[in-house]
Chain A
């Protein structure tokens, strides 16, 4: 049984890596302008006859590729941050947004759109500052120590601060009730990968990769923590260090992802559950598998978002929730709801 589970996981990872490569290719090939994979290969090997046209080349390198990479990174970031939050709070309802990241980022983004809508590069900065500020307020209020009770305080403070920031955002939206900016704010809040470019990727990629590896470093600690804080400590975990680092890493991961792609819902909550059903609860497998699955899920959702009503583009958050939630519910029912 143990070895069969191991072998099954082996295949799961091969499948997920294959799926990631497939998603990458599909994500760059499909769209209003088709870019055949054959032509990409031809260009790569200097086959001028079948190579990409100049237009295809620009679309591929400047639009599609950054967009797909952004999808992979943000999906991975949100999913892993969800895994860590659920492990840390030992609560299957936890998501990357429990500590107010999403509401804070929305407020920051709304402020930036209203005050400096001309400078597109400022938007992620504003969102990141808003997200960090919200989480700092939550920490300041709850002062997480090492006791379980203070983790509950942390969740409650997250809910309260989240509502407060949402109120500010709504107020800003109310103030700006002049068409275009309002639509910008709402569109940002529903999430999208449309702002992808190589500069933002160059910042996001190292942050996401370092954070995921660092969270993986605490995988066994998270396993032990599922037996309760005190038992984990008796096994040799240092809960104070674990909480401090993981709260920092998950916040950084979620805030960076949200800053570039808006508050995409559902990925951080559901991908960990779906993958847990496949790999079991061991965080050493759950973290990397969720990273890959979250990335693929977001790339395919984005593909659907930009092709379903082309040339109009749906916010990707609509897709992630619209298709993800029923699938998640189906899995829960099919697998006997073993969360």
Chain B
């Protein structure tokens, strides 16, 4: 399912716009990385697409439907999101939490049907959390917790998955395993828009990247077009070497520590 964002503007207060006139398209089955410095508006854009926030101007469409005409339930059937912050108010098990992904698919009084059970089990297998099923969802490590919430999102059987900095608190192994799972789902047809700080991982995960800066789209395109030394310098004020690995030909971004040019303030 395609995401279309057209000329969207938003600010938490009228004086301080967070996003100005942002447009982007994520085609069906595509993985797009949302990049940009802290405060550039990545999370806000994702929350707008998930309808947690309403844009001041512009329009957002999921497939052929306007987002502002869709109910939460309708949206939840085609779009899932893994957020940055997590809070679990009561002592639910991992399986209970993953099962909550079925909320929009089930009636209020109906019991768990076979389709629900299968979706839950499949999602837990994909996210590799089957062995955690009976554990308390409150007593998990960062990597486990992140995979549990990915499983919950996948149990929604969404066509679109939004990920808000999913790898921020994960160690290297869990970053790699998390993004590999996501990549597998993309290969199976899932549409993914993820915000991420690690540019090398972004380049490996995404077919296209969108670089936000001060609430505007600075540039977008294939990772090798966007992630250039000049662009990174002008957006992040960092001197970074961009190259390709001699064996795998994968794009990497290698920031150099040292004399940082001062951010213009």
Residues on A lying within 8 angstroms of B by beta carbon are: 1-2, 87, 90, 217, 219-221, 223-228, 230-231, 233-238, 276, 280-282, 338-339
Report if B103 contacts A (CB, 8 A): yes
Residues on B lying within 8 angstroms of A by beta carbon are: 47, 50-52, 71-73, 75-77, 79-81, 83, 85-93, 95-97, 100-101, 103-104, 106, 108, 133-134, 136, 152, 156
Contact yes or no, A235 B108, CB < 8 A: no
CA separation between A219 and B103, bound complex, in Å?
11
Contact yes or no, B134 A1, CB < 8 A: yes
Report which of A90, A224, A228 forms a contact with B103, defined as CB distance below 8 A. A224
User: With A220-B106, A227-B97 as given contacts, are A233 and B90 in contact (CB-CB < 8 Å)?
Assistant: no
User: With A225-B89, A234-B52, A236-B73 as given contacts, are A2 and B134 in contact (CB-CB < 8 Å)?
Assistant: yes
CA separation between A220 and B96, bound complex, in Å?
11
Query: What residues of B have a CB within 8 angstroms of the CB of A220 in the complex?
Result: 100, 103, 106, 108
Query: What residues of B have a CB within 8 angstroms of the CB of A224 in the complex?
Result: 100, 103
User: With A223-B100, A236-B77 as given contacts, are A231 and B83 in contact (CB-CB < 8 Å)?
Assistant: yes
Contact yes or no, A238 B73, CB < 8 A: yes
Report A152 CB to chain B, min CB distance, Å: 14
CA separation between A223 and B87, bound complex, in Å?
13
Given A87-B89, A87-B90, output 5 extra A-B contacts at Cβ < 8 Å.
A226-B88, A236-B73, A237-B103, A280-B91, A280-B92
User: With A1-B134, A234-B76, A235-B104 as given contacts, are A338 and B71 in contact (CB-CB < 8 Å)?
Assistant: no
Report which of B86, B101, B136 forms a contact with A235, defined as CB distance below 8 A. B101
Contact yes or no, B89 A235, CB < 8 A: no
Report A136 CB to chain B, min CB distance, Å: 27
Report B51 CB to chain A, min CB distance, Å: 8
Which one of A1, A233, A238 has the highest number of Cβ atoms from chain B below 10 Å of its Cβ? A233
Provide a sorted-by-A list of 24 A–B residue pairs whose CB atoms are within 8 angstroms. A2-B95, A87-B90, A90-B87, A223-B96, A226-B89, A226-B92, A227-B100, A228-B85, A228-B87, A233-B52, A233-B72, A234-B80, A234-B83, A235-B76, A235-B100, A235-B101, A235-B103, A236-B72, A237-B103, A238-B73, A280-B93, A280-B96, A281-B90, A281-B96
